[in-house]
């Protein structure tokens, strides 16, 4: 059977006015005539920027992808996408994940590209790029930034984010000087690459391996390790072959691939942010994935990886211990071994070729680092559409708790009152923060792990039950109930909680309930509705986002972006 012509040939293969225009204006970049003879054109979608160290080296890394593409007989063409620097963007990088996804989707679809390599790393770039690419469904591979080297300070290893939270609480408790606190800054982030803990960036890079959309060891090789350049080169080789074999992203992103991602997420003690990102990605490719899938599949998996914030070590150690392929090996028959990957090997073949080199860092199912560690999905009258908690980052004694709510109406209210000496709070209280969901902040920021009141910190209290419609950083820890859906801004029951209410949290039975009568809640709802104000955001991206964003239980994607799409464009440009 004759091979169907490549997509790029619709632009570059025509010997008419349209072909002249498409070729002429790209020949100006230095490409010779013969590269338009029907060879695969590979787009390299690069989120490089100087705005954050996470993606600072991607311009260099793209050159190695190009080497691999040229070597395999393809034509590499690099193009930019917004970089979403997690630590710089306000009000939160998450507000822009879907904007990046739209940018990537339309850039791929509109241009004469046959396959694509996604270069990203910081928390929202990986899901945003893959969501966009999934909606076009060309052959696609991911190359991640790779983690920073271990932080080194005062003779010990320090982890991105995790030690920021720890140090800042120590300062608030009067146990650390400001001078020491500030001196840790340049020791924590001392190379290019993403956060060196198992935060959201490394969680998402690990899930890329579990989904099968990158080459093995993509997650853990440090950003500055020469083997990451080799991985980029080999990705360039491989994407050309995927185009020749017409292996589309939807053939990789199967139900089994998502199940593998959830199993990996539990084994590594991954970031809670991965839940919203996987749900959104599944929505793009028409895979039915629910919050309950995380709880159900995660229950089977103990914590296998001893990395901050759930454990002790950092990503560099994870790399030397064997990385994600070694975790797959330890998961054994739990992992969906027959799932295919972009490497040309099944997940089972990748796992069989792996070794564990350090049992301190990667445990076994029989002798794990910790107990069942996935994500707990809670239901109850406070979260009818769900809420989540990461048990491996929580205090075991707080996983069943009944307490009095101390409510903050929004983040400004929290900042105004949390340090007040007369705040009526003790260690049995439950801190409740409203107005921080997708519509509320807007963008669902990482404020769910709100800092504790100084007067309790000074008494030695280090954890309390906290509840919000926000997310939390993947590097954070604590008994923090997140992603309450529907959010307060959308009229969820969270909007009705008042200081002094009793709340009952029963982790083992997965419930979260507000112990207030139905009649009282109905009265409060009438009062809440009467007090509604028009949104202060009346234009641009903020307006579109607030009007169309879905709740956390549906991945916080925009409602009109859910569902399968394609690479089809029927009209010429002139």
- By CB under 6 A, name the binding residues for ligand FES: 52, 54, 86-87, 122-123, 160, 194-195, 199, 201
* Smallest separation (angstroms) from ligand FES to the CB of 56: 10
Q: Vertex 486, ends 482 and 489: CA angle to 5°?
A: 95
Q: Which is nearer to ligand FES, 56 or 376 (CB)?
A: 56
Q: Which is nearer to ligand FES, 49 or 373 (CB)?
A: 49
Q: Which is nearer to ligand FES, 102 or 204 (CB)?
A: 204
Q: Which is nearer to ligand FES, 85 or 478 (CB)?
A: 85
Q: Which is nearer to ligand FES, 192 or 439 (CB)?
A: 192
* Smallest separation (angstroms) from ligand FES to the CB of 330: 25
Within 420-492, strands assigned E span 430-433, 465-468, 480-481
* Smallest separation (angstroms) from ligand FES to the CB of 58: 12
Q: Which is nearer to ligand FES, 160 or 429 (CB)?
A: 160
Q: What is d(CA 338, CA 352) in angstroms, rounded to the nearest whole number?
A: 12
Per-residue three-class SS string for 241-310: HHHHCCCCHHHHCCHHHHHHHHHHHHHHCCCCHHHHHHHHHHHHHCCCCCHHHHHHHHCCCEECECECCC
* Smallest separation (angstroms) from ligand FES to the CB of 217: 18
Of the candidates 57, 350, 61, the residue with the CA atom closest to the CA atom of residue 232? 61
Give just the sign of the alpha carbon dihedral 24, 26, 32, 33.
negative
Under DSSP, is residue 361 helix (H, G, I), strand (E, B) or coil?
A: coil
Phi, psi of 333 (to 5 degrees): -70, -15
* Smallest separation (angstroms) from ligand FES to the CB of 125: 8
Q: Which is nearer to ligand FES, 194 or 484 (CB)?
A: 194
Q: Which is nearer to ligand FES, 195 or 484 (CB)?
A: 195
- Contact of 231 with 218, CB cutoff 8 Å: yes
Query: 18 is written with which tokens?
Result: 């349209």
Under DSSP, is residue 530 helix (H, G, I), strand (E, B) or coil?
A: helix
Under DSSP, is residue 151 helix (H, G, I), strand (E, B) or coil?
A: strand
Q: What is d(CA 204, CA 218) in angstroms, rounded to the nearest whole number?
A: 11
Q: What is d(CA 408, CA 521) in angstroms, rounded to the nearest whole number?
A: 18
* Smallest separation (angstroms) from ligand FES to the CB of 403: 32
Give just the sign of the alpha carbon dihedral 355, 311, 553, 208.
negative
CA distances from residue 520 to 62, 145, 429, 497, 523 in whole angstroms, order as listed: 59, 52, 21, 11, 5
Q: Which is nearer to ligand FES, 194 or 267 (CB)?
A: 194
* Smallest separation (angstroms) from ligand FES to the CB of 94: 13
* Smallest separation (angstroms) from ligand FES to the CB of 87: 5
* Smallest separation (angstroms) from ligand FES to the CB of 473: 8
Q: Is 316 exposed, middle or buried (0-12, 13-18, 19+ CB in 10 A)?
A: buried
- Looking up tokens 């060309």, which residue turns up? 138
Q: Which is nearer to ligand FES, 202 or 341 (CB)?
A: 202
Query: 486 is written with which tokens?
Result: 């529907």
Contacts of 212 (CB under 8 A, 6+ apart): 252, 257, 260, 339, 340, 341, 342, 343, 347
Q: Which is nearer to ligand FES, 195 or 257 (CB)?
A: 195
Query: 462 is written with which tokens?
Result: 């280090």
* Smallest separation (angstroms) from ligand FES to the CB of 487: 24
* Smallest separation (angstroms) from ligand FES to the CB of 151: 12
């Amino acid at each position: 059977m004759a091979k169907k012509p490549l997509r790029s040939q619709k632009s570059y293969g025509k010997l008419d006015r349209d072909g002249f225009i498409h070729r002429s204006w790209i020949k100006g970049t230095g490409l010779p005539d013969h590269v338009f003879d029907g060879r695969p054109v590979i787009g390299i979608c690069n989120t490089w920027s100087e705005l954050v160290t996470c993606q600072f080296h991607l311009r260099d890394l793209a050159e190695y992808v190009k080497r691999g593409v040229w070597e395999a007989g393809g034509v590499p063409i690099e193009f930019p996408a917004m970089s979403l620097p997690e630590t710089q963007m306000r009000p939160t990088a998450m507000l822009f994940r879907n904007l990046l996804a739209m940018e990537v989707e339309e850039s791929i679809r509109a241009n004469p590209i046959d396959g694509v390599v996604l270069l990203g790393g910081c928390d929202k770039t990986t899901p945003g790029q893959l969501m966009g690419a999934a909606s076009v469904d060309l052959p696609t591979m991911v190359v991640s930034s790779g983690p920073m080297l271990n932080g080194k300070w005062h003779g010990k290893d320090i982890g991105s984010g995790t030690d920021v939270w720890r140090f800042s609480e120590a300062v608030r408790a009067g146990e650390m000087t400001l001078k020491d606190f500030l001196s840790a800054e340049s020791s924590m982030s001392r190379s290019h690459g993403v956060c060196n803990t198992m935060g959201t960036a490394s969680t998402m890079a690990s899930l890329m391996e579990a989904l099968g959309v990158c080459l093995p060891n993509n997650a853990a090789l440090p950003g500055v390790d020469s083997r990451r350049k080799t991985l980029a080169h080999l990705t360039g080789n491989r994407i050309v072959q995927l185009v020749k074999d017409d292996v589309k992203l939807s053939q990789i992103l199967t139900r089994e691939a998502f199940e593998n991602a959830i199993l990996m997420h539990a084994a590594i003690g991954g970031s809670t942010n991965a839940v919203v990102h996987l749900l959104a990605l599944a929505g793009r490719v028409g895979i039915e994935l629910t919050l309950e899938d995380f709880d159900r599949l995660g229950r089977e998996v103990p914590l296998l990886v001893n990395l901050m914030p759930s454990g002790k070590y950092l990503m560099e150690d994870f790399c030397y211990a064997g990385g994600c392929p070694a975790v797959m090996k330890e998961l054994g028959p739990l992992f969906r071994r027959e799932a295919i990957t972009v490497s040309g090997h099944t997940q089972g073949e990748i796992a069989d070729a792996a070794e564990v080199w350090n049992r301190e860092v990667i445990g076994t199912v029989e002798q794990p680092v910790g107990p069942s560690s996935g994500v707990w999905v809670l239901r109850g009258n406070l979260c009818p559409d769900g809420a989540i908690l990461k048990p491996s980052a929580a205090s075991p004694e707080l996983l069943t708790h009944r307490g009095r709510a101390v409510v903050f109406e929004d983040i400004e209210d929290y900042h105004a009152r949390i340090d007040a000496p007369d705040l009526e709070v003790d260690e049995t209280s439950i801190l409740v923060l409203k107005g921080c969901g997708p519509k509320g902040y807007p963008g669902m920021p990482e404020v769910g792990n709100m800092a504790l009141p100084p007067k309790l910190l000074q008494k030695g209290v280090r954890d309390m039950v906290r509840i919000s419609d926000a997310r939390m950083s993947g590097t954070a820890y604590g008994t923090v109930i997140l992603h309450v859906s529907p959010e307060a801004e959308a009229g969820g029951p969270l909007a009705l909680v008042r200081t002094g209410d009793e709340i009952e949290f029963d982790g083992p039975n997965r419930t979260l309930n507000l112990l207030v009568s139905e009649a009282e809640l109905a009265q409060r709802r009438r009062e809440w509705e009467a007090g509604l104000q028009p949104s202060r955001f009346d234009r641009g991206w903020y307006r579109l986002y607030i009007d169309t964003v879905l709740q956390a239980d549906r991945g916080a994607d925009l409602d009109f972006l859910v569902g399968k799409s394609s690479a089809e464009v029927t009209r010429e440009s002139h």
